[in-house]
Amino acid sequence: GQQLNQSPQSMFIQEGEDVSMNCTSSSIFNTWLWYKQDPGEGPVLLIALYKAGELTSNGRLTAQFGITRKDSFLNISASIPSDVGIYFCAGLRSGGGADGLTFGKGTHLIIQP
Amino acid sequence: NAGVTQTPKFQVLKTGQSMTLQCAQDMNHNSMYWYRQDPGMGLRLIYYSASEGTTDKGEVPNGYNVSRLNKREFSLRLESAAPSQTSVYFCASSSGRAGNEQFFGPGTRLTVL
């Protein structure tokens, strides 16, 4: 089964720095979602993107749906300690309905003191 | 609202034993999903149910069965557990309409010895 190519695998940053991560695929997706997972918890939805070229913000988070519909990126500005965790991109091929999501392998965000 | 709940949180089985993982949602969602998450991997879809009374295979269905008991509940059964099924299992639900934002439960951590 296909998984999305998510990079980087891990990031070691200082508090206050900006963060950028992305996902690419050889296939087109009609919806892109970004999730955050804390240790021992389930993924929590951060941002949902529905249209090619769409740019959406949620507080310090900004995500974009690539114009080719084959990629997406997530930026976090002015990182804080609670941003630590694993960030997953997920894509949905169909325009709606109940299809399962295809996930990237995740980006581990680690904030150094 | 509790969202998506899963039981049990932890389980240890011996090879060949059977068990059922329970999932319930109180968001009146039509669609429900079972994923597994292995170390270093994103989530992979096992089975899903687009609506009450229907189920479909996902990416990794072998060794599992599911039951959509009613609109709220979707269970995952391992008939004869194998060490390769050691994983963290997540249930999710969505409205099933356009966009298909999925909301996840806290997970069940299963170890098969």
**pLDDT, tens only, B57-72:** 998 999 999 999 899 9
pLDDT surpasses 80 at B55: yes
Greatest mean pLDDT among A3-12, B75-84, B91-100: B75-84
Query: Is beta strand B43-49 parallel, antiparallel or unpaired with respect to B74-78?
Result: unpaired
Average pLDDT, chain B: 93
Q: Identify the pLDDT of residue B95.
A: 84
Q: Does A39 touch chain B (CB under 8 A)?
A: no
Indicate the residue of A35, A98, A106 with minimum beta-carbon distance to B100: A98
Tell me the average pLDDT across B17-32: 95
CB B104 within 8 A of CB B2: no
Q: Identify the pLDDT of residue A95.
A: 53
Tell me the average pLDDT across B89-103: 83
Indicate the residue of A4, A50, A101 with minimum beta-carbon distance to B102: A101
Q: Do B90 and A43 touch (CB under 8 A)?
A: yes
How many Cβ atoms are within 10 Å of A109's Cβ, its own excluded? 20
* Inter-CA distances, A100 with B6, B11, B28, B58, B59, Å: 19, 25, 18, 7, 9
Calculate how close chain B gets to A78, using CA atoms only, in Å. Answer: 26
Q: Identify the pLDDT of residue B99.
A: 59
Quickly tell me which residue has 């295979």 as its tokens. B57
What residues of chain B lie within 8 A of the CB of A99, using their CB? 48, 100
pLDDT surpasses 90 at B19: yes
Which regions of chain A are under pLDDT 70?
Answer: 1-3, 94-98
Tell me the residues of B at the A interface, defined by beta carbons under 8 Å apart: 4, 30-31, 33, 35, 40-45, 48-51, 58-60, 90, 94, 96-107
Mutate to test the interface with A, among B31, B100, B101 (most CBs of A within 10 A): B100
What residues of chain B lie within 8 A of the CB of A33, using their CB? 101-102
Q: Identify the pLDDT of residue B10.
A: 96
Distance, CA of A91 to CA of B21 (rounded, Å): 26
Q: Identify the pLDDT of residue A93.
A: 80
- Which residues on neighbouring strands pair with residue B5, listed in sequence order? B24
As a whole number of Å, the CA-based R_g of chain A is 13
